[in-house]
Chain A
């Protein structure tokens, strides 16, 4: 019996994946554990290993196809003594299912997109459209190609700027016909944009939304609208910690140096141990309090951001933290993090100091309880013993989930961080 290979769920949150590359061709032999494809999930590019020996008889979803649903058949594996003909044995509901899905998924072939656009004189082959196509992205353009639609309906849709990717056609085999387009109602907010576009006659560049942007949008929207958060802000003197850092980094090559971030991670971990309410997650009807401190670091990468997590910081020294962070950042940029490396944690640290930002608040990254926003260090005059002197400070803002962390607890946590930064020798305690 041929085996159907399904789109794997490579992470708990993964609903769809993109097939970036097939490492094997149809007809190639594969053995268990061999990498057959590269699959891009919501946040990472992953290698997909086959679990059985056999021959890759059929690739059902082409390389470059995006948004393939988890559990959708993507390939068929046959085993010794079986022939391609056996593929017909696969139960029909499954076959019809994937046929339908193939039709709605979308290989990204820019040439096809271009060609299609070119057939309509009113739309240029570039991505600049005068009409509004608000909702989605590359998924949309590509999906339009795979949707069955009559030439007339397609022309009217383009002329009116209607995204027909979500329209269910009423024609034969679900083909979209003229009346489907004529009966299409613009979603209300899109209508406004549509109108604005017409009013301003302003051309715009349409950029497709990739899966990372989609995840960012979805998660932050959810976080912002569902978590009752508040912010606490404190100025912290970094004069002392910088002194220590200088000593530590003396005669050490650049890539071995300990940065303020490494120290911060450690200090945050220590403070979490001290204020255990911080190291928690809201799980609807219960609160999860963790033993180890898993701390996320926001990393800006091309076209987005990701928050790799340093696990069990409480068990690690600065050198390990430094090495792990370096590796995580590198692989973040390469989009090669495993889901387990960026999921979970109870707190994140976001440092925009390098941009000269004085202080800011952030949006909590669920399931975490809070996030620390680190501003730029700056020198300020201070009065000590009736004398003016110079101090170097940075602003730290805690944005916390009030369901988990009450104001006083948040303040306690933030003052612990402040205390440790200003008195780094306390870290030894």
Chain B
């Protein structure tokens, strides 16, 4: 039987467009269906534009303390519209870049909504007309949407990331519900621009998935910058009044209630997979807790239909989506693939200071392994960090004492998101402590701290005792 396409991808986020390019690379006749801008949330409303915003707030912060570096800068202010517009421009140019890449790879970019009709057929709906498209293989990469709390919905005052990224005016005060990466990045951004920010977190620490020491250190740093935290608490209701949003905050342990008033609220309490309105039910694709079930090859229960990225479940990370896209395409092309090991997926928070980690936290490592070795190295003992006065933070590594397996690495400090890959490579290649100890790190760089942390785990640090 002949199909119009060998591979059709629904969704052009970092999972979808990467899958499409890989499919084209392998000689498949490929189409990608996108109802919105190319690049998905990541590129248009997530990873990229937030980094643009955070750069602005970082520059502002640096300028404010320029005197410390012997530079005089006076009347430092910012143009909020320009900050926002720059972020939008960056997103636009990257989205255009995806269009260019698709074209270069002879991938058909089809605008519209897709609904699966059968195992080899989908219905495309767009402004001009509806049409059926037949496919040999389908990759669902529809991503996810921000979750709402049971009794709180998004409004013009209660923002999702999307509104938080494109406000008309800078609010005076802001309540951020949820202290994951998204919540912390927005809290950090707005706080840097002078907004009074309070973060409410249900868990008993901020950045709940990070190592305890990292969470505690980060909280301390953010508090120094003026962010307020209410941990172990949840927001029961938000009342929108003329004078702002009135939050009823409940302490989770003693159920005591406190009131909080803020101009705006950002709700960043997680995301849920976009599994509706794409016809999953027409072919009985199995889902669970808001995401599509797949195996390690990203195959759903329908053998020629794959799901990748956020719609296929946590961790909700663009780089995971891209990697899964490649796994799915390689697998359907008959190539040898290696399922993802979640412990080898790095996670990053682009606040100031940044947080980056891969693998198990010390707490989890203790649960899973009989005995571990932990090594830490403070950036204050690193020459380069001192030279550039970015010596806040530390690097921490966790090893299995028995085998020398790198179980986890956790870092906080300026630029650490650009360093975590060092440990990720070591972990992915199953290097032991020896492989890092025997590696030469360039001097002077903050990366030397990666080396020292491992030396420290084996009781032989050079620059710290």
Contacts and interface: CB of A to CB of B under 8 A. Distances in A.
Contacts of B434: 119, 151
B429 A150 contact: yes
Chain B interface mostly helix, strand, loop or mixed?
A: loop
A31 to B, nearest CB: 45
Contact of A151 (B338, B402, B435): B435
A192 to B, nearest CB: 25
B405 interface: yes
B403 A171 contact: no
B431 interface: yes
A380 interface: no
Nearest to A170: B338
B430 A153 contact: yes
Contacts of A150: 429-431
A177 interface: yes
B111 interface: no
B404 interface: yes
A177 to B, nearest CB: 6
Given A159-B403, A178-B405, A152 B338 contact: no
A356 interface: no
Given A172-B338, A177-B430, A155 B435 contact: no
A401 B148 CA distance: 86
A217 interface: no
Contacts of A171: 338
Interface string B390-432: 0000000000001111000000000000000000000001111
Contacts of B403: 152, 155-156, 159
Contacts of A155: 403-404, 432
Contacts of B404: 152, 155
A152 B343 CA distance: 15
A143 to B, nearest CB: 20
Contacts of B432: 151-152, 155
Nearest to A159: B403
A177 B339 CA distance: 13
B430 A178 contact: yes
A156 B431 CA distance: 12
A171 B344 CA distance: 14
Interface in B89-117: none
Contacts of B338: 170-172
A152 B427 CA distance: 10
A171 B405 CA distance: 16
Contacts of B405: 152, 178
Interface in A158-208: 159, 170-172, 177-178
A398 B277 CA distance: 87
A170 B429 CA distance: 13
A361 B41 CA distance: 83
Nearest to A178: B430
Nearest to A120: B434
A172 B425 CA distance: 14
Nearest to B337: A172
Contacts of B402: 159
A153 B404 CA distance: 10
Contacts of A170: 338
Contacts of A156: 403
A274 to B, nearest CB: 66
Contacts of A172: 338
Contacts of B431: 150-152
A401 B407 CA distance: 62
A159 B434 CA distance: 16
Interface string B425-452: 0000111101100000000000000000
Nearest to A153: B430
Interface in A4-18: none
B44 to A, nearest CB: 33
Interface string B44-65: 0000000000000000000000
A171 B403 CA distance: 19
> Which of A119, A156, A170, A178 is most buried by chain B, counting CB atoms within 10 A of its CB?
A156
A157 to B, nearest CB: 10
B422 to A, nearest CB: 16
> Which of B403, B429, B430, B432 is most buried by chain A, counting CB atoms within 10 A of its CB?
B430
Interface in A392-416: none
A181 to B, nearest CB: 10
Interface in A134-154: 150-153
Nearest to A152: B430
Contacts of A153: 430
A177 B431 CA distance: 10
Contacts of B429: 150-151
Q: Which 7 A-B pairs have the closest CB atoms?
A: A150-B430, A152-B430, A151-B432, A152-B405, A151-B431, A156-B403, A152-B432
8 contacts: A150-B429, A151-B432, A151-B435, A152-B431, A155-B403, A159-B402, A170-B338, A172-B338
Interface of B: 338, 402-405, 429-432, 434-435
Given A150-B429, A151-B435, A159-B403, 17 more contacts: A119-B434, A150-B431, A151-B431, A151-B432, A151-B434, A152-B404, A152-B405, A152-B430, A152-B432, A153-B430, A155-B404, A159-B402, A170-B338, A172-B338, A177-B430, A178-B405, A178-B430
